[in-house]
């Protein structure tokens, strides 16, 4: 059902890959991304759980990156192995070089292999919506023309919609994909201190929605 269509290796030699559903007929195309931040592994768990379900007659084409930041995941750290926060490394109009803190955006925009991997995916497909899975704020954040979609995801999960996360995020993926490329982009912030099982119980409806309804 899913085929690995793009593969790349990080500077530590770990693989990043894109899975594409092999349904010839489809309505929309949705990109789902897990583990932007290495210490937020829940997204990959949910994705793998979803991939094990009975996936028949998908309405939409699904593009899935189970783990964007395998180097960070291995070290259980937010950033990649260059200590760059990938969610501040995108070539947005507001990108700027910052001091080397936890949110360091890199020496220049799109300096990182992981960032370029996503840009390549966006350049190669016509994508109708993006679901990027993070933790731990228990909210549905969105960028670009995604207000109604965010309300829908909120109604499925019970997590509140928050359009602004409360602090500036120059070079963020949401600004890049949502605001500047105009692709409806949902940042699903999962709650912390929840078991994988209870996260799946709540969020499987989000996966079903993007696969069969959206
Ligand atoms: Zn995050």
Q: How many A from CA of 59 to the centre of ligand 1?
A: 29
- In this structure, what token pair is assigned to residue 180? 């500047």
Q: How many A from CA of 214 to the centre of ligand 1?
A: 24
Name the pTM for this structure: 0.97
Residue 212's pLDDT is 97
Q: Say which CATH number the domain at 63 has.
A: 3.40.630.10
What pLDDT, in 10s, does the model give residues 24-61?
A: 999 999 999 999 999 999 999 999 999 999 998 999 99
**Predicted confidence band of residue 106 (pLDDT cuts 50, 70, 90):** very high
Q: How far is CA 164 from CA 1, 8, 41, 62, in A?
A: 36, 32, 23, 27
Q: What percent of the chain has pLDDT over 70?
A: 100
- Quick check: 132 pLDDT over 80? yes
Q: How many A from CA of 45 to the centre of ligand 1?
A: 15
- CB-hemisphere CA count at 13 Å for 57? 1
- Its domain, for residue 89, covers 2-213
What pLDDT, in 10s, does the model give residues 4-20?
A: 999 999 999 999 999 99
Chain mean pLDDT for the chain: 96
Q: Ligand 1 being an ion, which residues bring their Cβ within 5 A of it?
A: 37, 40, 134
Q: How many A from CA of 134 to the centre of ligand 1?
A: 4
User: Distance between CA atoms of 139 and 191, rounded to whole angstroms?
Assistant: 8
Residue 166's pLDDT is 72
Domain tally for the chain?
Answer: 1
Q: How many A from CA of 25 to the centre of ligand 1?
A: 33
Residue 154's pLDDT is 98
Q: How many A from CA of 126 to the centre of ligand 1?
A: 25
Q: How many A from CA of 89 to the centre of ligand 1?
A: 13
Q: How many A from CA of 79 to the centre of ligand 1?
A: 10
Residue 32's pLDDT is 98
Residue 56's pLDDT is 87
Q: What percent of the chain has pLDDT over 90?
A: 92
Checking 166-171 for CB contacts under 8 A at 24+ apart, the result is 168/94, 169/87, 169/88, 170/88, 170/92, 170/94, 170/95, 170/96, 170/98, 170/105, 171/87, 171/88, 171/89, 171/90, 171/91, 171/92, 171/94, 171/95, 171/96, 171/105, 171/106, 171/109
What pLDDT, in 10s, does the model give residues 138-166?
A: 999 999 999 999 999 999 999 999 987 77
Q: How many A from CA of 36 to the centre of ligand 1?
A: 6
């Amino acid at each position: 059902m899913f085929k690995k269509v793009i593969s790349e290796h990080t500077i530590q030699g770990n693989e990043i890959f894109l899975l594409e559903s092999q349904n010839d007929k489809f309505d929309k195309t949705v990109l789902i991304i897990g583990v932007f931040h290495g210490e937020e592994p829940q997204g990959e768990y949910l994705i793998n759980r979803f991939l094990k379900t009975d996936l028949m007659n998908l309405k939409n084409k699904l593009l899935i990156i189970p783990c964007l930041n395998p180097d960070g995941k291995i070290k259980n750290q937010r950033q990649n192995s260059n200590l760059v926060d990938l969610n501040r490394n995108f070539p947005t109009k507001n990108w700027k070089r910052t001091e080397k803190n936890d949110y360091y955006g890199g020496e220049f925009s799109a300096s990182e292999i992981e960032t370029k991997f996503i840009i390549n995916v966006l350049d190669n497909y016509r994508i109708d919506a993006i679901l990027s899975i993070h933790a731990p704020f228990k909210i549905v954040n969105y960028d670009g023309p995604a207000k109604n979609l965010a309300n829908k995801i909120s109604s499925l999960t019970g997590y509140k919609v928050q359009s602004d996360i409360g602090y500036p995020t120059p070079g963020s993926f949401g600004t890049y994909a949502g605001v500047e490329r105009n692709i409806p982009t949902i940042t699903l912030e999962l709650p912390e201190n929840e078991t994988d099982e209870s996260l799946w119980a709540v969020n499987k409806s989000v996966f079903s929605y993007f696969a069969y309804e959206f």
